[in-house]
Amino acid sequence: MPRSQPAGIDRWLRGLVGSTLGRLGRAGGVVFLLAGLALTGVGAYQGAYAAGWAGTHGTLTVESCEVTSPHNVSRSSRKNRSTIRCCGTFASDDGKAKDINAALEGKRGYLQGTEVSVQQTDAPTADADTDADYVVAGLNRAMHWFAAFFAGWVLTGLGVFCVATGYAPFGSSRISYGAAWDAAGRNATRPTTIGMIGVGIVGAGLSYLVSLFI
């Protein structure tokens, strides 16, 4: 019969596996945190400009559009990653700013002469430069970005929970969800997680619903 491992070695192996899974849970939590913070930041930035709360509002009159795509990807994925760059002239509503080298990038193209409501996020450094940035303005578009902003709260709340408890929501975990939830209740982790996820779900849902009616 095979000889069984000594109890000390067995405990050491269990501790090593548990420690490794705990670190994986916290590493996964860090990924959730970074993804949530990035999504929240992008949503807030783009939403503020799309809603007209920041930047300079005006009209971009389209002269031409072309499809651009990265050359180092396969043909099947190139279509999904391609963007449409539309060039034209931007004029602010107050008449104080004009950019004859304005360019707008996105997934939508426009016919020549189309006037697009845009927000200038950064003005060109010189009259002949083409480094100005523009985003399509509109409350409907802003609400989609605000939905992304609140969705980032959900990911951030999950990240806080995983980092604080070591729980891994994917694969094997050092501790069960129930044990992690009980541990989170001994400090501010549980109310923080509930608050962030709750606000995120409600905010994202309401923002998306509002976008359907405007």
Cα–Cα distance for residue pair 14/16, rounded to 1 Å: 5
| Average pLDDT score, the chain | 82
Task: Say whether pLDDT at 131 is over 70.
Answer: yes
Confidence of residue 174 (pLDDT cuts 50, 70, 90): low
| More confident call, 29 vs 36 | 36
Task: Say whether pLDDT at 22 is over 70.
Answer: no
pLDDT over 90 for what percent of the chain?
A: 50
Q: How many residues does the chain have?
A: 214
Cα–Cα distance for residue pair 184/192, rounded to 1 Å: 9
pTM attached to this predicted model: 0.72
At residue 192, the 3 state secondary structure works out as: helix
Confidence of residue 25 (pLDDT cuts 50, 70, 90): low
Copy the structure tokens of residue 73: 């990807």
Confidence of residue 178 (pLDDT cuts 50, 70, 90): confident
Enumerate the β-bridge partners of residue 84: 67, 106
Task: Say whether pLDDT at 7 is over 70.
Answer: no
Residue 54: CB atoms within 10 A of its CB come to: 13
Mean local confidence (pLDDT), 32-54:
93
Of 102, 135, 95, 105, the residue nearest 118 (C-alpha): 135
Enumerate the β-bridge partners of residue 58: 92, 118
Cα–Cα distance for residue pair 136/10, rounded to 1 Å: 61
| pLDDT tens digits along 44-102 | 999 999 999 999 999 999 999 999 766 555 555 555 567 899 999 999 999 888 999 99
| pLDDT tens digits along 109-127 | 999 999 999 999 888 877 6
Decide: 196 and 36 in contact? Cβ < 8 Å. no
Decide: 198 and 154 in contact? Cβ < 8 Å. no
pLDDT of residue 72: 53
Decide: 134 and 118 in contact? Cβ < 8 Å. yes
Cα–Cα distance for residue pair 104/75, rounded to 1 Å: 24
Q: Which residue has the tokens 């405990």?
A: 11
Sheet holding 133-136, edge to edge: 98-106, 83-92, 56-68, 115-122, 133-136
Task: Say whether pLDDT at 16 is over 90.
Answer: no
pLDDT of residue 181: 83
| More confident call, 75 vs 34 | 34
pLDDT of residue 176: 75
DSSP string, 111-143: -TT-EEEEEEEE--SSTT----EEEE--HHHHH
- In terms of Cβ atoms closer than 10 Å to its own Cβ (0-12, 13-18, 19+), residue 84 is middle
